């Protein structure tokens, strides 16, 4: 049995995003949504290149970027794996981004005229839908 | 002269009558990886290859390939270079097996395993005459011959032109994944941006016999941006638009494709009376197209 997890992604030529960027985005999304989890092994450079019909160097560059960003880790001699989730931003930066997002959200929502508790309940519902997948 | 360039030209010119096909071309292509060369028809690509392979002398300047003067290549030097052209020219009256025997005899580094691996993608039988092969089969046969020669440099001039989708895919697979091309520098000359996006590590743009750009494809794409502005009336005089490659007026909105412009371009459009300005990145295909279209021959505007 193959130990490699299949990487169900597609790339498109003619897209404003270069192919390498498309791979980086797709893998990050798979990890963020829990479709790939800590310890899953990624396809080899050559394997993914052949699956997507692209130059192996493009895959190698995308994998290198994902590794540098801490999404993937290489294990000597065995290949690339999804890394353990860890905070990739400093506490201050996380706080700042959360403040920003809340500010934007509040500005968008105020004109709609919902009661505050109704808005909070809806946000809680949206989280409910996401969170189980993240921890699955 | 540095040894890390597999191809190097200095002030290379070629004149056909009063027309300059290569215009003091300075080009240095590093060893290794896949380099795509694009350019409009008549940009000088074929002339460049003819000179580099020693089929034709330059009018002026210098061309070096594998560190040697291209006009003084020995048969041993030539054996280190594989060449596949769009016509896939091979003697039509010879049988496939005869061509293979001839090549095996000619090239000391001949690798039968590589040949078999590549030719296996195509329905080519040893007893067939070359003239009876389809275009796709000839392309595959040609690539198999070139790779089996274990070249240090593989020059592909429009290799997939006229191939159907299956033959094209088989060709690219043999090129990218056969191991045979692992230690080989590949020069890939094509007009098919979709293929270039898939295979190229480096993009070289020639125009009118001169080098116009060389970088990773995505760096070139990043130089071009698409702006849409709601400018009243005719908009600014195109001659005053910085970096302009292409302008179109669609449904009353001006679309600009521009080179090397940042957010200052928005201020330019605002200063020209734009009420709204939006920008977006473009694809490689669009970027190369706009870049080449700028100087492409066109009838004088009516």
- Would B117 be classed as within a structural domain? yes
Min Cα–Cα distance to chain B from A50, Å: 7
Count of domains in chain B? Answer: 2
Q: Which of B215, B248, B268 is the last residue of a domain?
A: B215
Beta bridge partners of B188: B36, B156
- Would B231 be classed as within a structural domain? yes
Lowest mean pLDDT among A89-93, B27-31, B245-249: A89-93
Instruction: Read off the pLDDT of residues B235-256 as tens digits, 9 standing for 90 and up.
Output: 888 899 999 999 998 988 999 9
Whether residue B76 sits in one domain with residue B117: yes
B189: domain CATH number?
Answer: 3.40.50.300
To test the contact with chain A by mutation, choose from B165, B171, B173, B176 the residue with the greatest count of A C-beta atoms within 10 A, namely B176
Which residue does chain B place closest to A20, by CA atoms? Answer: B218
- Would B285 be classed as within a structural domain? yes
- Would B301 be classed as within a structural domain? no
> Which pLDDT belongs to residue A2?
61
- Would B177 be classed as within a structural domain? yes
- In three-state secondary structure terms, B252 is coil
- Contact call for residues B118 and B156 (beta carbons, < 8 A): no
Q: Which of B215, B240, B268 is the last residue of a domain?
A: B215
Lowest mean pLDDT among A53-57, A125-129, B98-102, B122-126: A125-129
- Contact call for residues B14 and B22 (beta carbons, < 8 A): yes
Whether residue B234 sits in one domain with residue B202: no
Which residues from A are below 8 Å from B when comparing CB atoms?
Answer: 13-21, 46, 49-50, 53-58
Q: Domain range for residue B103?
A: 5-215
Q: Chain B contacts of A46, Cβ < 8 Å?
A: 177
CA torsion through residues A111, A112, A118, A124, sign: negative
Q: Which residue has the higher pLDDT, B181 or A8?
A: A8
CB atoms within 10 A of CB B106: 12
To test the contact with chain A by mutation, choose from B200, B218, B220 the residue with the greatest count of A C-beta atoms within 10 A, namely B218
- Contact call for residues B61 and B11 (beta carbons, < 8 A): yes
Whether residue B84 sits in one domain with residue B60: yes
- Would B59 be classed as within a structural domain? yes
Whether residue B156 sits in one domain with residue B49: yes
Whether residue B245 sits in one domain with residue B122: no
Count Cα atoms within 13 angstroms, Cβ side, for B204: 25
> Which pLDDT belongs to residue B158?
87
Say what percent of chain B tops pLDDT 90. Answer: 66
Q: Chain A contacts of B201, Cβ < 8 Å?
A: 55, 57-58
> Which pLDDT belongs to residue B1?
45
CB contact (8 A) between residue A46 and residue B193: no
Q: Which domains does chain A have, with CATH numbers?
A: 19-82 (1.10.10.10), 91-135 (no CATH)
Sole residue written with tokens 């392979």? B53
- In three-state secondary structure terms, B149 is coil
Q: Chain B contacts of A14, Cβ < 8 Å?
A: 193-194, 197, 283-285
CB contact (8 A) between residue B285 and residue A14: yes
CB atoms within 10 A of CB B19: 9
Whether residue B260 sits in one domain with residue B197: no
Q: How wide is the angle at C-alpha B106 spanned by C-alphas B103 and B110, nearest 5°?
A: 65
> Which pLDDT belongs to residue B199?
94
Instruction: Read off the pLDDT of residues B89-120 as tens digits, 9 standing for 90 and up.
Output: 788 899 999 999 999 998 988 999 989 988 98
pLDDT at A20 over 70: yes
Whether residue B145 sits in one domain with residue B58: yes
CB contact (8 A) between residue B169 and residue A53: yes
DSSP classification of residue A4: B
Please tell me the distance from the alpha carbon of residue B104 to that of residue B149, in angstroms, as a whole number: 8
B279: domain CATH number?
Answer: 3.30.70
Q: Which of B157, B180, B215 is the last residue of a domain?
A: B215
pLDDT at B55 over 60: yes
pLDDT at A136 over 80: no
Over range A48-61, report the average pLDDT. Answer: 94
Whether residue B103 sits in one domain with residue B235: no
A–B: how many Cβ contacts below 8 A?
Answer: 55
Whether residue B196 sits in one domain with residue B235: no
Whether residue B137 sits in one domain with residue B63: yes
DSSP classification of residue B129: B
Whether residue B248 sits in one domain with residue B102: no
pLDDT at B214 over 90: yes
- Would B25 be classed as within a structural domain? yes
CB contact (8 A) between residue B194 and residue A13: yes
Which residue does chain B place closest to A59, by CA atoms? Answer: B198
To test the contact with chain B by mutation, choose from A53, A61, A64 the residue with the greatest count of B C-beta atoms within 10 A, namely A53
Whether residue B137 sits in one domain with residue B245: no
Over range A35-59, report the average pLDDT. Answer: 93
Q: Chain A contacts of B200, Cβ < 8 Å?
A: 55
């Amino acid at each position: 049995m193959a130990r490699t997890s299949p990487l169900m992604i597609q790339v498109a030529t003619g897209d404003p995003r270069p192919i390498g960027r498309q791979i980086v985005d797709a893998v990050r999304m798979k990890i963020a949504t829990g479709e790939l989890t800590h310890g899953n092994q990624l396809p080899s450079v050559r394997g993914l290149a052949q699956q997507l019909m692209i130059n192996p160097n493009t895959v190698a560059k995308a994998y290198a970027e994902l590794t540098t960003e801490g999404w993937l880790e290489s294990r000597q001699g065995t290949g690339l794996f999804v890394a353990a989730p860890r905070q990739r931003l400093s506490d201050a930066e996380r706080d700042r981004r959360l403040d920003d997002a809340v500010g934007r959200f509040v500005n968008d929502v105020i004109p709609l005229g919902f009661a505050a508790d109704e808005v909070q309940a809806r946000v809680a519902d949206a989280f409910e839908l996401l969170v189980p997948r993240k921890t699955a | 002269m540095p040894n890390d360039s597999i191809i190097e030209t200095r002030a290379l010119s070629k004149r056909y009558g009063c027309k300059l096909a290569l215009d003091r071309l300075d080009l240095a292509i590093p060893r290794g990886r896949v380099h795509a060369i694009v350019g409009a028809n008549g940009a000088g690509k074929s002339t460049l290859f003819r000179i580099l392979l020693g089929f034709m002398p330059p009018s002026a300047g210098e061309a070096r390939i594998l560190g040697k003067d291209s006009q003084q290549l020995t048969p041993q030097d030539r054996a280190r270079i594989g060449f596949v052209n769009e016509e896939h020219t091979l003697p039509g009256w010879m049988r496939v097996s005869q061509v293979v025997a001839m090549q095996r005899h000619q090239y000391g580094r001949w690798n039968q395993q590589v040949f078999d691996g590549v030719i296996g993608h195509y329905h080519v039988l040893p007893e067939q005459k070359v003239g009876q092969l389809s275009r796709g089969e000839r392309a595959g046969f040609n690539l198999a011959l070139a790779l089996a020669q274990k070249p240090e440099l593989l020059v592909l001039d429009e290799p997939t032109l006229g191939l159907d989708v299956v033959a094209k895919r088989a060709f690219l697979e043999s090129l990218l994944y056969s191991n045979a091309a692992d230690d080989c520098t590949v020069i890939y000359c094509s007009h098919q941006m979709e293929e270039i996006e898939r295979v190229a590590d480096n993009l070289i743009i020639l125009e009118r016999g001169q080098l116009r750009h060389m970088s990773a494809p995505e760096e070139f794409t990043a130089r071009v941006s698409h702006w849409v502005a709601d400018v009243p009336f005719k908009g600014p005089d195109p001659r005053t638009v910085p970096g302009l490659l292409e302008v179109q007026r669609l449904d009353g909105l001006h679309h600009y494709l521009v080179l090397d412009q940042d957010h200052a371009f928005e201020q330019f459009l605002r200063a020209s009376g734009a009420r709204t300005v939006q920008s977006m990145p473009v694809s490689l295909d669009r970027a190369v197209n706009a870049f080449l279209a700028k100087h492409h021959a066109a009838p004088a505007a009516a």
